[in-house]
Amino acid sequence: MSKEAIRRIGLQFDDNTLVPLLFGDHDRNLAQIEEELDIEISARGNELLISGPKLKLLLISGPKLKLKMAQTVFDVLWDRLTNGLPVGKEEVSSALMVALSPMDQGTRALAKAALKEPHLNVKAKNKVITARTPKQAEYLEAIRTHHLVFGLGPAGTGKTFLAVAQAVTMMQAGEIDRLILCRPAVEAGEHLGFLPGTMQEKVDPYLRPIYDALHEMIQPEQIAKRLADGTIEIAPLAFMRGRTLSNAVVILDEAQNTTATQMKMALTRIGEGSRMIITGDLSQTDLPGGMKSGLRDAVDVLKGVKEAAFIEFNEVDVVRSRIVKHIVAAYDKRDKNK
């Protein structure tokens, strides 16, 4: 049985200069793929011989499926390299996620395309920004195709970062005139007391994460220039009241800390040629006294609106660091047990 079960495929790569980048230092990329798929990979020059899976996994998934997964991973990584994109531990993990995660054919194709070539015309610290999980690819596609997008899920999944990256891409391409980023000014479980200074100085601490995301993608002098001429605006949510926002991308971050009234006010600011991206984590609401989150209320009310897209991230989409993924999973397990 074991002899029949073990199958092999051979892969050959036609650019010897890229092969070392595909394999990784000391073949660490190959080792990562071997461990995750429980297969064996032998490298000789620009060729790979992939054998597997091992007998202990045959009842879980057949050998043909495992080899097909491995081929998908290498196809994605090779296409990244030929498109001038880096391949490291994070990119290998992303390709493995595409191969291993259950998803429909359309979502898988979207995720593979997002990993193979950049759809965002911005860089973070000189690195091209691409989707790193299937859900991130789905999120970026939703932002491109919908006027209202909700990015829901835990910290570290890239909800705000990718929204800012997509908005900056659209602004640089001339598709929008303005980028407006806002947050509700709610204390995160701490009483900050009276803050001295101007109004801007008072609200800046609440908006610092948005500044950080912008500084990853735009030179500081360009940010200062755009803030001065109004093409980029960063403000607390309360400053949005009474305005109509046209030809803009509006990003409402930490939306779980809005009230239902504030959320309705924000949603009705969308003007001609504009789109709104609303991000938040419903498990981390800082509203006082058990008040219902405006984000929760909006999800309940708008689920049937076809112009709105709801992208729900979970712990497998955490890209910030491995420990954050484990922290989120541990808290989710605790909450489910309750």
Say yes or no to pLDDT of 218 above 60. Answer: yes
Q: In what order do the strands lie in the sheet with 232-236?
A: 232-236, 178-183, 248-252, 275-280, 148-152, 308-312
Residue 199 has, within 13 A of its CA and on its CB side, a CA count of: 5
Question: Are residues 141 and 10 both part of a single domain?
Answer: no
Question: Are residues 165 and 253 both part of a single domain?
Answer: yes
Q: How far apart are the C-alpha atoms of 217 and 127, rounded to whole Å?
A: 10
Q: Is residue 178 part of a domain?
A: yes
Beta carbons of 39 and 51 less than 8 angstroms apart: yes
Question: Are residues 24 and 121 both part of a single domain?
Answer: no
Q: Is residue 108 part of a domain?
A: no
Q: How far apart are the C-alpha atoms of 232 and 223, rounded to whole Å?
A: 8
Each residue's pLDDT tens digit, 221-263: 988 899 899 999 988 888 888 888 899 999 999 999 999 999 9
Beta carbons of 151 and 137 less than 8 angstroms apart: no
| CATH code, domain with 18 | 3.30.1370.10
Q: Is residue 274 part of a domain?
A: yes
Q: How far apart are the C-alpha atoms of 136 and 279, rounded to whole Å?
A: 13
Question: Are residues 25 and 68 both part of a single domain?
Answer: yes
Q: How many domains are contained in the chain?
A: 2
Say yes or no to pLDDT of 328 above 80. Answer: no
Average pLDDT, the chain: 82
Question: Are residues 254 and 329 both part of a single domain?
Answer: yes
Q: What DSSP string runs through 309-321? A: EEEE--GGG--S-
Question: Are residues 74 and 126 both part of a single domain?
Answer: no
Q: Which domain holds residue 51?
A: 2-100
Question: Are residues 96 and 121 both part of a single domain?
Answer: no
Q: Is residue 289 part of a domain?
A: yes
Q: In what order do the strands lie in the sheet with 7-12?
A: 7-12, 47-52, 40-44
Question: Are residues 266 and 191 both part of a single domain?
Answer: yes
Q: How far apart are the C-alpha atoms of 327 and 87, rounded to whole Å?
A: 26
Each residue's pLDDT tens digit, 36-61: 888 899 988 889 998 876 544 444 44
Question: Are residues 150 and 212 both part of a single domain?
Answer: yes
Q: Is residue 133 part of a domain?
A: yes
The predicted structure's pLDDT at residue 56: 45
Boundary-marking domain end, from 65, 100, 135:
100
Closest by Cα among 159, 141, 7 to 71: 7
